[in-house]
Amino acid sequence: MIEILAKLEAKRAEARAGGGPRRVEAQHAKGRLTARERLEILLDEDSFEELDMYVEHNASDFGMAEQRIPGDGVVTGSGTINGRLVFVFSQDFTVFGGSLSERHAGKICKIMDTAMRVGAPVIGLNDSGGARIQEGVASLGGYAEVFQRNVLASGVVPQISLVMGPCAGGAVYSPAMTDFIFMVKHSSYMFVTGPDVVKTVTGEKVSQEDLGGAGTHSTRSGVADMALENDVEALLATRDFFDFLPASNRSGVPERPTLDPADRLEPSLDTLVPAASNQPYDMRELIVKVADEGDFFELQPNHAANIVIGFGRIEGRTVGFVANQPTVLAGVLDINASKKAARFVRFCDAFEIPIVTFVDVPGFLPGVAQEHNGIIKHGAKLLFAYGEATVPKITVITRKAYGGAYDVMASKHLRGDLNYAWPTAEIAVMGAKGAVEIIFRKDAGDPEKIAERTREYEERFANPFVAASMGFIDEVIMPHSTRRRIALGLRKLRGKRLENPWKKHDNIPL
């Protein structure tokens, strides 16, 4: 018996050794941790339970019959993060470059299936040379099996991808279909075709980092939600982030005790909005002052920064914040901002996370490039996302809510539950200057008359009371009481039940 146990230990040790000390050293030399070291940081101490440790590939071509390494390039199982269950897979670059074989894919699929059955999130740590070249089409089939599960799990359990090394070719489409992507700076990249192919096909010369590094994807493309400095920072950020997420679409939001009083007043908010209506102010300040303990986890901070999205808590329960940002492009809605916020709103709705929206928006961005690139369809995404969302929706208009953007930003008409305005709110079809130029064009040559008309227009519309008189605003609130109002509102809305008409699924403008 002792001998048998010793054999098991030896087999385990063999699997844990991965591709051996030389390859582990090479991994470390690149500033990267190994698959198992990463899981040790991501998960609570001693919580990881590994499965399928002895799985080997089934290939024999190209000398593969002689090269078998237990685990086959991916470490899978489950563990906890701050006590909450999570299923994980971590690709092991030291074993066949973390490349995906049929059996490697089977291991990932197994934990995804289990996660969906039990209702727990999946976190994938990606570090892979892509399809296992020696296996050919069997590997492509493996990818497609994973893709299919990404689709089925979408909206059922949260899926997070950490990209911590190479991720290229069709392999990028698994992370792309998950809910959130975190990348490591100067160590990870994602592209459909690499720099060499790009050069051959289009003649463009571009480095790996510029084409698909963490910097590019967290600023220009918006593919990544966060770019972290190194493996450790990425894993620790994921732990913090995980605490905000519900376990599944049926679990409800996590709740944790807080010492921050729900009725905390913030007098400083009374002077947040500057006197001049074209002067910017930082909308993050409002979010941070409203959220429990100022704890706000912002996503995509450097992409489409004219809109801010992220998670916070009110009375210990997760809420999704969406806010126009006056410091960037005056908080205008453009293609990227619409897409960024729409996907976030849909995530919140899918997982029963209430949405708090702060509005200061001068409208949609005019321009040939915006129109030619489809602002109509992309702007409609955000409108659609808010309109279909059935979770509690609380909206606070702090200043401008002009034109179509007023409607889009979780207005009363899109089934906003509580629509508040600060006394500084201006709810109108457009700003006074533009409006007067159009409706009093005949007075254009008379600056005095124009100034008078502008004053008249401002007096009539540059306030929240016209909208409030129509019931489009439920209450005009003191800025300092915003947290108290939101907390009270969310408490009252906990029992909200609202269903959309039966349908197979909707047809959001893609």
* Least spacing, CB of residue 178 vs ligand HXC, in Å: 15
For residue 40 the two structure tokens come to 């040790």
Longest dimension (CA), the chain: 102
Q: What is the C-alpha separation between 86 and 464, in angstroms, rounded?
A: 46
Q: What is the C-alpha separation between 120 and 84, in angstroms, rounded?
A: 9
DSSP 294: G
> What amino acid is encoded at 490 in this protein?
L
Nearer to ligand HXC, 101 or 419 (CB): 101
Q: What is the C-alpha separation between 256 and 418, in angstroms, rounded?
A: 24
Piece of 164-172, 251-259, 262-270, 449-457 that binds ligand HXC (CB under 6 A) = 164-172
* Least spacing, CB of residue 65 vs ligand HXC, in Å: 15
Give the bridge partners for 166, in sequence order: 189
* Least spacing, CB of residue 190 vs ligand HXC, in Å: 12
> In which element (H, E) is residue 201 found?
helix 195-202
CA 230 to chain CA centroid, nearest Å:
20
Nearer to ligand HXC, 174 or 238 (CB): 174
> What amino acid is encoded at 132 in this protein?
R
Nearer to ligand HXC, 170 or 374 (CB): 170
For residue 449 the two structure tokens come to 């008359």
* Least spacing, CB of residue 75 vs ligand HXC, in Å: 16
For residue 75 the two structure tokens come to 């470490």
> Between the CA of residue 464 and those of 279, 394, 400, 426, 432, what are the distances in Å?
19, 16, 10, 6, 14
For residue 234 the two structure tokens come to 């990425």
Residues 381-410 that bind ligand HXC (CB under 6 A): none
* Least spacing, CB of residue 254 vs ligand HXC, in Å: 34
Catalytic residue, chosen from 119, 169, 215, 316, is 169
Nearer to ligand HXC, 143 or 242 (CB): 143
> What amino acid is encoded at 230 in this protein?
N
Check: CB of residue 311 under 8 Å from CB of residue 318: yes
Give the bridge partners for 167, in sequence order: 190
* x/- track of binding to ligand HXC for residues 83-122 (CB under 6 A): -------------xx-x-----------------------
Nearer to ligand HXC, 96 or 180 (CB): 96
* Least spacing, CB of residue 297 vs ligand HXC, in Å: 31
Residues 139-158 that bind ligand HXC (CB under 6 A): 140, 143
Check: CB of residue 172 under 8 Å from CB of residue 186: no
* Least spacing, CB of residue 98 vs ligand HXC, in Å: 7
* x/- track of binding to ligand HXC for residues 117-136 (CB under 6 A): ------------xxxxx---
Q: Is residue 188 a contact residue for ligand HXC (CB under 6 A)?
A: no
Nearer to ligand HXC, 210 or 371 (CB): 210
Q: What is the torsional sign of CA 387, 500, 117, 71?
A: negative
Q: What is the dihedral of CA 218, 223, 229, 232, to 10 degrees?
A: 150
Q: What is the C-alpha separation between 448 and 61, in angstroms, rounded?
A: 86
Q: Counting beta carbons within 10 angstroms of the beta carbon of residue 53, is it exposed (0 to 12), middle (13 to 18) or buried (19 or more)? A: middle
For residue 275, what are the contacts with CB-CB under 8 A and spacing of at least 6? none
Q: What is the C-alpha separation between 298 and 284, in angstroms, rounded?
A: 9
Catalytic residue, chosen from 215, 252, 404, 434, is 404
* Least spacing, CB of residue 133 vs ligand HXC, in Å: 4
Nearer to ligand HXC, 150 or 411 (CB): 150
Piece of 163-171, 197-205, 221-229, 314-322 that binds ligand HXC (CB under 6 A) = 163-171
Residues 23-82 that bind ligand HXC (CB under 6 A): 23
170 catalytic? Reply is yes
Measured between its terminal Cα atoms, the distance across the chain in Å is 61
Catalytic residue, chosen from 20, 31, 170, 374, is 170
For residue 16, what are the contacts with CB-CB under 8 A and spacing of at least 6? 36
> In which element (H, E) is residue 163 found?
strand 159-163
Other C-beta atoms closer than 10 Å to the C-beta of 65 total: 11
Q: Is residue 184 a contact residue for ligand HXC (CB under 6 A)?
A: no
Q: Is residue 175 a contact residue for ligand HXC (CB under 6 A)?
A: no
Pairing of strands 317-324, 307-314: antiparallel
404 catalytic? Reply is yes
**30: left (phi > 0), else alpha (psi -120 to 50), else beta?**
alpha
One of 136, 170, 261, 374 touching ligand HXC (CB under 6 A): 170
Nearer to ligand HXC, 208 or 249 (CB): 208
Q: Is residue 17 a contact residue for ligand HXC (CB under 6 A)?
A: no
Catalytic residue, chosen from 405, 425, 432, 468, is 405
Piece of 148-156, 165-173, 272-280, 463-471 that binds ligand HXC (CB under 6 A) = 165-173
* Least spacing, CB of residue 146 vs ligand HXC, in Å: 9
Q: How many residues bind ligand HXC (CB under 6 A)?
A: 16
Q: What is the C-alpha separation between 313 and 317, in angstroms, rounded?
A: 5
One of 71, 166, 312, 416 touching ligand HXC (CB under 6 A): 166
* Least spacing, CB of residue 129 vs ligand HXC, in Å: 2
Nearer to ligand HXC, 92 or 315 (CB): 92
- Which residues make up the interface to ligand HXC (CB under 6 A)? 23, 96-97, 99, 129-133, 140, 143, 166, 168-171
Q: What residues are labeled active site? A: 169-170, 404-405
